[in-house]
Structures are given as C-alpha cells and as structure tokens.
A and B are shown apart, each in its own frame.
Chain A
C-alpha cells in the first residue's frame, strides 16, 4: 500500500455519529478518521462526550445516527464482539479485570473455550511473555490481579487487547490513575505500539500528555467536535481555550472589600477515597462577601475538600476553624447547624432522594429542626415550605407532590439551591453547581450565588470550567493532586497560567523556589 492509499483508507472512520440520552445530546454529528500508526488525542472537559463516543466505537452503545468503519468494513452497531473481532481494543477508565484470577487467566478470558483452559496455558503464557517483551509491558503472568498495583493492572488491560490482535487501541483517560512515572512508561509502550503499525485513540483532559503523545488533537465540547489541530501546530494554551470555550455569560461581580474569614483550613490533610487523592497540608480561608473559586481537573482532591466542608469527613491532620472556633466534632448536621449550605456535586444521588417528592426533598436537611415538634412532623408546614421554594426559585414542576426524579437537572438544582439559600447560610459550598445545566438554569444559579455573596456569605465554588471560575471568583485557588495553589486575586491570572497550575506545573516551581 502506498502512503496515498493509506490516507484514503484510514484504519478507522467515524461518520456523523449522533447519540442522545433523553434531552441530552452526548454526541452531535461527530466525524473523524484515524490513520495507521497514528495517535489521536480526544480532548474535552468532563461530560463533553468523549467516553460516549468511544463506547459507540467499541459497540457498547449504538448510535442514533452515523456509522463506524474499521479497516474499510462497516461495524455492526451495539456489538462489542464485532469491534473486538475487527481489531479494536479498549482500555476502560475503570478496569474490567477479575481480581481473583491470575494475569494470564484474565488475558485469555473469553478467548478460549471455558471447558479446556488448562490445555493451552503454556502457549498462552508464551504469547503473553512475547507480547510483554515486545511492548515493554513488564508483568508477572502468574500473579493474582487483585494484588497488582494500578499501573500493573493497566498493563494487563493493554496486554489483553494486544493478545486479541488489536490493531486499534482506545485508551479512556489512561493516566487518570497513574503516577507520573507510570504515565511515562505507558507513553513508551504506546510509542512502541505505533512503531509496530498500531493506531491509538487517546482520551484525556490533561494537556501536557496530549502534547507529548499525540499526532493530532480533536477537541470535543458539549458533544460537538469543535476543533481539529495537528499537535505540532498547536499549543497548550490554544487547546485549553478550545476545550473550555467561551459560552459562559456570568453575572456582574462588583468589587467589594472582603469580609471576615468565616472558615479557615489550617494545614489540613485528609484521606482520599479509592484512587482520588486526599488533601495535602491545605490552607484556605473563606471570607464573607467573596466567591472563592477552586479550579482543577476533577479527581484532584475536590471530593476530599467538599466532604470535609460538608461534614462527611474530619481532617486527618490540621485544623478546621469556623468563625474562629476550632472544630472537633463534625457531622453533616453540625455543619448545617454552623450555617454551612451545601450544594453537592451529584444532585441525583447525593443531593436528592430520587423517589421522594419535592416536599420531602425540600425539607431533607431541615425536617428535624424546622418542621417537627417532639418527633412529630408537620407535613402541612413542610408542603407550604416546598411551595414557597418552588415559587421563589422558579422550579418548574407539576407540584410539590411530584417525585423529584421526574424533574430536569436544572429544576432539581434550583430546588437544592432554594433549600440551601433559604436557611441563610454564612458559608456556601457549591460543588460543580452548573454541570449539565442548560444556559438558563446556569445563569440563574450563578446570579443567586452572586447575590448570596453580596449579602455577605462566603462562597466556595468548585468547578472544572475555568471560564466559570474566572468570571465569578474574587479569589482563585487551583487544586492538583491534593495540593492547593496560593490564592490569585481577581484579574491577575490568565486561563493559560491557571491551566499550568492545573497540570501540576506551578507546584513544582514553588517547590523549586523554596
């Protein structure tokens, strides 16, 4: 095949892929192709539609429109087996390995008849040994997967794909769980792979990795392919700007002198959950009349910080101070009693109870303090409260007796917002308050948060959307790997500079300087 033929016959071609989940358009008319020996990076924020697109390619979802071609053959939609047979291998963000089986058993699982696995153990192990040597994927084939480190497990996943003769590798956020050293090793493997004629789709939202490994970058935003760049012709700064876009129109934030520090974290460390890092000696002050923005790629300690402020977790070291008083006893109920209003990240599973109606959800935090006497609930008052919230916060719904799961995300969020703001909180934790909301609900939430700031509340806004952070915040911190950057005052930092901190660069400089 000549080079020209190769260009005309890409190994992979996606044409006009569209996929909807209810009202949400996860992929909107996305097309691209992949050449032999090429690495494409698929870049985008959380929820931009990257994973959905790859799941369509791998046959886990079937697209509403469009088609997938592999080596010139149209792929049957909705059939992972067809994708595997065509030579597509996928390494998922969350591994799909059986912890109680050995490495080689995991790799051959599904490739041999279950009745005779022992028979071909030797051949299988020989093949695995060969593959791991060729691709620099060092792993002991007889080790139990449950005892492997995360990096080793990922190598097993890649070996699994290679064992099935994958010619196209899809890696979904492969470095999200890796240490920098492990990431480097992964990149070495990928370079080896493309040298041997494989092609790679690399999903990420980490700019420096994209720059390091890819030939071409595709940027997805809100399900649409908004830009395509040759990696050599672009820069991190340009990619960052393309990724976040400029669609957020924020309320006017008039300058205002900061009030007293309502909450302080002094050298606070806390444990992370699962792979998410905890906090490492974080110091932070939240002042009244200020919105403090917390920028960062998700999974860098935001969860640990918001658990701490919500009352779900205690610091493992350091001190949490509210209005100058050190906190020793801490729970969600105590946090509420201290005037902390919480808008949780996951409004469907943490913020509300899906099958409860609006009344029940409206009083979920205050039923005991405001709507009960001696253990008896006053449902009439609760219902009246819900009706007031619905009216004041413009929650569009059939009525207070509707199960909240029937509401759109925006209306659900408005009810949560109302539930929080009606308690007149002194400190407001808003974790990803507008994720997934339409523009109307988004503006509404933002202007209400700005209003609370004007009334003297301290707002901590956690978001992955840099534009949102920059537009709303009086002070910005960046969080990366559980570490917090110094505060940056409004207007002193460009998105590109913040982006470097988000990638973890700034911390190195600080460490270097000190």
Chain B
C-alpha cells in the first residue's frame, strides 16, 4: 500500500496543483486586492506559524517553508500554503487544524496525529465556515480526517487521507460533510477510514475520488441534488450507500471488491429520482441493493449502461421495490444476476425500455435479424435460486456441485423448471462496456508471482526427487555383519533355535488352517514342510513371517514375530511362491528399495555383489517386467539374501521353473545351506526335499502329522501308492472283477479305476489286466500322503 501511495503521489499532486491553480486563480484575477505574503521559515521573517498567523490580516497569504509545527486554528481569511511539506502535528491530542474563518484555505501541508476520541470527534482538519478550501494536503494518523459542518461552498480537493490504523468501530470518518451545501469533494484519496459521509447538504459534487478499505465508501443521507462521478470505491464494506435523498446522479464510477459486512457496491434506501449510469459494479457481494426506492409514485430509479460483473448477486431487490428501470446494462457472471431479498417475487420493474433490454451472460437465445437484440426473451429461471427463494437456508449449498447438478437437471428436464424470476423481453446479445472509467494504480502482482513460482517449483521438486532417492547410490562401506558361516558351528554346539513355533493356530472362520503347530529349528538346519494343498504349509510360512494374525507364538532368534515383528523379520529372507515385485522398477532399483526397507541404506556394494553372485549383473538395468521366470526367481533369492539374514524362507521356490532352472536353483540353495544358512521351505517335489532338507515336517489338515528325516518321507510315500487305470467304459466291469479276484480293492473313477498298490509291485495289476485281455489304455502312479489315502479310494489322483 505504501509503495502504491508513493507512486501515485506525484501524479495526484500535479493534478491537484493544476486544479488548485485554476480554482484559486479565478478570484484573484477578478480584481480583489492581493494581500500580503508572510513567509514562515527557519531563516525568518517569521520563525513560527503562530507568529505569522498573529500578524496576518484577512486576505493575506502565509507561506510555510517546511518544518514541523503544532496544531493551528485559522480564524482569519488567510491562505495557508505549505512548501516542501511542512508538518502540522497534533501530537496525538485533539484536532490538528481548525478553519473557522470564511474564505480561509489550507494547501500543501502534512497534517498528522490527531487525538483518538470519537466522542470529541478529534480530526485532522475541521471546517466551520463557508467558502473554505482544503487542497493537496496529506493527512496521516488522524481519527476523523476532514470534517465540514456549516461550511457552505467548501472545496476539498486532492487530499490524501490515511487514517489511524484502528479497528473499524474505533475509526472516525475520513471526510464528513454536515449541513454544508454546494460543496465540492474532488480528487481525494482515502484509505482505511470509516466513512465518507455527506449528510443534510444540498447540491454536492463528489468527483474523481478514490476510497479504499473503509466501511462506507460514500454515505449520502438527506442530501439532494448531487453528482457522484468518476470515483473509485474499492475494498470497502459498502461502496456507496445513498439514503433518504433525491436527484442523485451516479456516473462513471468504479465500484469493486466491496465485500465487507452487507457488502453492497451501491445501496439505495428510500431514494427518489436517482440515475445510475455507466458505472462498473464488480466483485462485490451485492452489486446494487435497492430498498424502498423510489418511494414516490411519480419518481424513478434508472440503471442504464452499467456493468454488473462477478458479484455474488448483481442486483438485489426487496420484493416491495417497484418502478426501477434497467436498460442497456450488462450482467456478466454474477453468482445470481438478480436476487430477491427475503424471498417472495419481484415487484413491477422494467427490464427493457424502448425495445432494448440488458445483456445477460447466460442468455442462450439468438439474434437472427442482427439488430443486437435477442429474438427470444431472457428468463431468469435457475432452479437452485428458485429453491433458495423458497427456503433461504438452502443458500448454504451455494457453490456446491450439488447446486449445479440441480441447474443442469432443470435445463435438461423442463418439468422441474421453476417460474421465471424475471423476464427481459429484449435481451442484448453483446455487452456494453462503460468507457473512460477512472483507473486505479496498477498493483504489483509480485507476491503472487513469487508464490506461484514457488508452488510450481514445489510441484516439480516433489515429482523429480523420488527418482534420485530410489536410484540407490553407494554410501560408504557396508557395515560388517556376522558371517552366516558360523551357524553350522552353532548347530553343532546345540545353540538356541533360529525359529520356533509354539502352539501356532490360525483360523479362517470355523476352519483351522493351522492347529497348534509346535516345532523348533536350530541354526543351519534345512526344514521342509510337506503336505497336500490346504494342509497348512503356506499358512505356516505366513505365520512365521507375521503377515497374518494367529494365536500362539513364533520367535525368530528370540524375537516374537507379533510383538517385535520388525526385528524378527530382519532374521528372515523370504522367497514367495507368486513372485510379486514392482514391475516397473529395474533390478538395481528393486534391490535398493528393499535394501532400504531392511535398513541397509543405499548399500549398493552388497546389492552389486549379490547381482554378480546370482548371475544377474548383466540384467541389472532391466525392469523386473522384462525378466524371465528363472531370472525373476534368482532376483527373489537375491532380495532374500539382502542383509545376509540367517534364515531363508522359501514357498514353493521351484514351482514355476523349468527343469534346468529348477536344478540351478536347487544347487544354489544347497550352496547357501552349506554356507550355514538355515532354510525353511515348502515343496511338492520329493527330489528337492531329498536334496536339500535335513528334516521334513508333514502337515495334515493344519496339524503336524510327522517330523521325520527325508529318507523316511521317501519310504512313507513309497508305502502308499495309487494306480490310476484308464479304461474304455466297456472294459471297466471286467477289470473290476479281475482285480477284486486278485485281492485288490479297486474303486471306480471317471475314466476307469483306481487301486491302492504296494509300491514294490506297482506293475502287478497291469500284468493281471493284460493277462486277462482287458484293453488298458493308459495308467498313472500317484504317491500320496496318508491323509489322502484315508480320504478313500474314490478320491482323485493326488498331486505328485
């Protein structure tokens, strides 16, 4: 604000200087005897203003050259002229300048520091005599600014008034005109005042003023015959409030951003014969508010060629308002163009005259004959507005998408379209934009530019950073970890178990997926879970990892996986059955990400070593998506080995691999086991179990069925074999008879028969059938666990 004033001041001064010359030159030229000139300056002749004033006679001019002076009262017809901005300072008490002589004038002073008493109406300048001029002064830190009472014919021009920075209730009026006819208020700039008040006065001219950040920009009451022209009223609570007056003409004013309490651009209350022409009312809460105007039957209130834009409500009328005329105005993008205060319907007002109405930015009609007037009437029939008319509480939903949805619905479905609020029979198709309006000083947009740049930079920064963070740079040497090789020694020494299950139970509803599993795995041991699908193998691993809730207790190197899951899982490298990585990361990024989760920082050295060890180095830059199944599996192992955990947990590690890849993986795991890693894995392949496991835990229906060395598993499996015989339907009966006779207990299956056999003579039933001439198409041998055997011979083939 300060900068803006500084920028404006020279121009304003120039303007009011010219104005002042023109105005003051006239009487002097008219032949009135020129008075003396008394000069007040540090060099004399008059050292103080008081001296000069005491010596001055009517008609004299007192020139004050700079300096600081106290409060003054001018009680003779003297022209006080400041040069080099002399200061009149009230020292924060009372009123600073009192002009009590007719024809006195004050020009070119800084008037500063009035008292702050509202009761005493402390002011910068008071005028209590006719024909006084107050021109080109700067008022600072005053309560009331310039206060005129019984001061007919006064001129207040080109003053800059910045009131004390107080809360609105404690402020005084920046300019007050009170019982003073024929006053001209011209080219003043007022900020932070309360009101500019013009009461009980006739025939006023209020021209080219700027009033900002006050309460009432202009307040007229009981004041007839005034011209209000070329003023700018910006950011006040209310721009202009005209009351109880007649014959006010308001032209070419710019009234914007008046959004305080009540927030009218222009308010009319009990006004008659009022012409409002060529003004801009923009961005106010209410552009124009009309209450009981005109009052008299023969009177009028006319709005012509005004622009109402971007107000919450363009024109707000009380239902009782009648005989307003609106023509050639432009209503552009107001929240509602015309509002009815307090509900009800609009009174009889004219929305067109002489075949010309107004421009409405939401007019959807057309102008086929090109005369500038739309061929169909404009109707204000917005549904949401209509609803708020009926129930004002619904205004709470203003700006809500739901309100717009209602509008759309009303347009699409004419049935719910409300009665039009008003109809303009001759809407204009192009807006008239008032020209030659007063322009405000350009406000530097620098803070907004800077903050907007800041926002954009923030966005770019946020979106650019993670790439760098994920790229996993080497950060110093990898911290030393206890080598996994010592585990074997610990195993031999009978050390504490790496892993223990204690009564682990997991339920899905009524089903027990795991039922009181208890076991311990010493360091360096390789344990295989064996069992049918649904036996609980995967569930056991998930409980081990603590990724699903369960009852009982799982500890990993003494860390309870449920209470201290993080430390527990730090002991585990996990290879899942379904390899699910983030497809769009490269291998290196994947390792870096999981390295960070394992608290390794960006330890790239270890990751690179692993990539090399697992033959992935050449693929490091590829995305996971581009890898083959075998390479993905190796990546999974590499991830599991990150951080060198003592325990590796693998869920069906070879399930999705082809034979060569499978062999490679088994060799790799055997190597890890030899290096001392503890292994816990599930598998469906006996050869893997035999190759890797030190111990096999058989699970059946969630329960531990057996805990045996691998070779016993082989024997157990061998002990139970089922032979599936594929037979042509016609041969089934005979085959059944042949086998039953031979002492077997065959069962029918969809494709033939199944029969339990001694694993050492699996060929015998085939030989019997072939011998009996039964046409055997094919056969299959299934090794089954005891559970499946128990389920009965009619069950399908077990999975190998």
Chain B associates with chain A: no
Q: Which residues of B contact A (CB under 8 A)?
A: none
